[in-house]
Amino acid sequence: MNSLDKNFSNFLDDLKKKGYAQSTIKRKERHLSNFINWLQEEGFKHVSAKEIEEEHVKKYLKSLKVKSGNEILKTIILFLQSSGNEKVFLKNEETDIQKIINHYFQTKGYSLEDVKESARKRKIIYSRYTKPSRDLLELAGSVEKAKEAINKVAQWADSRNLDYAIETVFKKWPEINKLKPKEKKKKPYFYNDPMIWSKTKNKWYVISSSGDWLEFAGKEEEIEWRLED
């Protein structure tokens, strides 16, 4: 197996681990197989993914008479960059990737200025989030859908006091549309004292500050229901 075939095999395995649909993997496999066959026919049989230049991709697309920005191009870019090639079309994706990274930090409570300032001071290592953001963009299909997925994970995690990362979105992707924030329950109070319902006696009791159970003698509308923390 030559370097390019090994890059190809690793890429497909990575897609499976990230939860891509089988139909999507098959489609990307077909696009890349055609591209690799073309490279080999052009005399690049022993080249690795890191050595492929932007001109190679442009020449291939031109041979297909395919416009820039379609699925074939996106698949090739994802393959090359996942293999460590940061030369091909990186600038074309930079804006969308930054939008996803910035949105992730905004769900963490940072403003856009906070993110920029922290990146300048190296408190946030921006490059650490580039690859997962790029992968999320490819998986979701658009910046807006990527943001929606991050929002769902953020709300789900925050309501349970859990931490989360962009990678968490991949782990939760198969159930992303089922993720819901934990529903907060309301607790009854009477003048700041908690209350409890006794099923055996079928009545309300007020728990005093000293811990005594006092039978509630007020009216139902006097009970205050508060969301628990």
Of 39, 24, 33, 8, nearest in space to 71 by CA: 24
| Percent with pLDDT over 70 in the chain | 89
Residue 125 CA to residue 105 CA, distance in Å, equals 12
Of 106, 74, 76, 75, nearest in space to 93 by CA: 74
* The pLDDT of residue 109 is above 80: yes
pLDDT computed for residue 194 by the predictor: 92
* The pLDDT of residue 88 is above 70: no
Q: Which residue has the tokens 């293999």?
A: 83
| Residue 12: half-sphere exposure toward Cβ, Cα within 13 Å | 16
For 153-195, how does the pLDDT look when each residue is reduced to its tens digit (9 = 90+)? Answer: 999 999 888 999 999 999 999 999 999 988 778 899 998 899 9
Of 90, 92, 9, nearest in space to 52 by CA: 90
Orientation angle between helical segments 143-158 and 130-140, nearest 10 degrees: 110
Can you name the residues that pair with 215 across neighbouring β-strands?
A: 205
* The pLDDT of residue 46 is above 80: no
* The pLDDT of residue 3 is above 80: no
Residue 138 CA to residue 53 CA, distance in Å, equals 21
Strand order in the sheet with 186-190: 213-215, 203-207, 193-198, 186-190, 224-227
In 3-state terms, what secondary structure has residue 85? coil
Average pLDDT over residues 27-36: 90
For 115-131, how does the pLDDT look when each residue is reduced to its tens digit (9 = 90+)? Answer: 777 766 767 777 788 88
